[in-house]
């Protein structure tokens, strides 16, 4: 019969694995740009969750000597939070605390690795649940981020609204194409700063899709796209209304 302690540890490791998988996913997809601040904040908070659940593991294992190590990880993350707050003030850099949030999240991953290796009788659970959690988190994140955008495409009237796929290649200028369905985006499962941006033009108004917020909003200066691009999209939509 499976003991309650074993079940508790498995559940705690599963929660930590989900948080670690989310951090890994965000590291794959985000490069610290200002517009991705919400993703960096999510990764940082996932690191805090790993640290919090590690205290539960220590208590359930009776390895009280590890409290000092876990507190050390927590203090490192709090120091990063302070530097991130300082970095967020105008004039101190273009990343607005994102880099420090990423460092804090990375410390959370180290926290996970350290606990799985030091609590050596539990490393099988730690890496088994991590192996299962990462694809589940990837799929769940994809569905959560894309479902609202897919509905936007289903609801648009192509006679009055234009949708554009915008890409920023490493070499060459910005490219855009008018699209009519969600499938034309070709997003892939890992959605982040490498993903194509989506613009919606309705009349003289331009909107940019924010993946993290899962909504269209007015373009803002930190979006990394030139402001004259949206004027060009408005002109293009005016010249070519409806389906081409």
Decide if 213 is inside a domain: yes
pLDDT score of 169: 66
Which of 109, 144, 179 finishes a domain? 144
pLDDT computed for residue 81 by the predictor: 84
Residue 200 lies in a domain: yes
What's the pLDDT score for residue 130? 94
Is 22 among the domain residues?
yes
User: 115 and 11 share a domain?
Assistant: yes
Global confidence as pTM = 0.82
Residue at 244 is within a domain: no
Exposed e or buried b per residue across 103-120, where buried means at least 16 C-beta atoms within 10 angstroms of its C-beta: bbbbbbbebbbbbbeebe
Q: Are residues 224 and 161 in the same domain?
A: yes
Dihedral pair phi/psi, residue 16, rounded to 5°: -65, -35
- pLDDT tens digits, 139-178: 999 999 889 999 999 888 888 889 999 887 665 678 888 9
Nearest alpha carbon to residue 107 among 29, 17, 193, 43: 43
The residue segments making up the domain with residue 28 are 4-144
- Write down the pLDDT at residue 93: 47
pLDDT in the model for residue 206? 87
Q: Are residues 209 and 120 in the same domain?
A: no
Choose among 115, 119, 144, 166: nearest CA to 212. 144
User: In the prediction, which pLDDT does 32 show?
Assistant: 55
Residues of the chain with pLDDT under 50: 34, 91-95
Domain C-terminal end among 100, 122, 144: 144
17, 114: one domain = yes
pLDDT single digits (tens) 211-233: 878 888 887 655 567 777 888 88
Same domain, 128 and 166: no
Please state the domain count of the chain. Answer: 2
Query: What is the side-by-side order of every strand in the sheet holding 197-202?
Result: 175-179, 161-167, 197-202, 205-210, 215-217
Q: Is 42 exposed, middle or buried (0-12, 13-18, 19+ CB in 10 A)?
A: buried
122 and 189, same domain (yes or no): no
Q: What is the pLDDT of residue 97?
A: 59
Same-domain status, 130 and 76? yes
Within a domain: 27? yes
Domain assignment of residue 193, yes or no: yes
């Amino acid at each position: 019969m499976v003991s309650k302690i074993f079940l508790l540890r498995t559940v705690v490791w599963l929660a930590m694995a989900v948080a670690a998988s989310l951090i890994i996913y965000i590291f794959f997809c985000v490069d610290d740009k200002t517009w991705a601040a919400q993703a960096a904040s999510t990764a940082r908070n996932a690191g805090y969750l790993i640290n919090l659940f590690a205290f539960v593991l220590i208590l359930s294992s009776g390895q009280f000597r590890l409290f000092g190590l876990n507190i050390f990880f927590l203090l490192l993350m709090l120091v990063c939070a302070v530097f991130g707050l300082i970095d967020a003030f105008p004039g101190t850099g273009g990343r607005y605390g994102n880099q420090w949030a990423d460092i804090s999240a990375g410390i959370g991953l180290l926290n996970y690795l350290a606990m799985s290796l030091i609590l050596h009788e539990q490393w099988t659970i730690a890496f088994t649940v991590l192996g299962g959690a990462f694809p589940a988190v990837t799929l769940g994140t994809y569905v959560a981020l894309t479902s609202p955008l897919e509905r936007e495409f289903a609801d648009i009237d192509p006679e009055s609204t234009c949708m554009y796929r915008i890409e920023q290649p490493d070499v060459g200028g910005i490219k855009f194409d008018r699209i009519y369905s969600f499938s034309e985006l070709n997003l892939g499962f890992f959605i982040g700063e490498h993903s194509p941006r989506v613009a919606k033009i309705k009349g003289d108004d331009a909107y940019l899709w924010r993946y993290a917020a899962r909504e269209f909003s007015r373009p803002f200066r930190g979006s990394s796209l030139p402001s004259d691009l949206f004027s060009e999209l408005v002109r293009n939509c005016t010249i070519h209304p409806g389906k081409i």
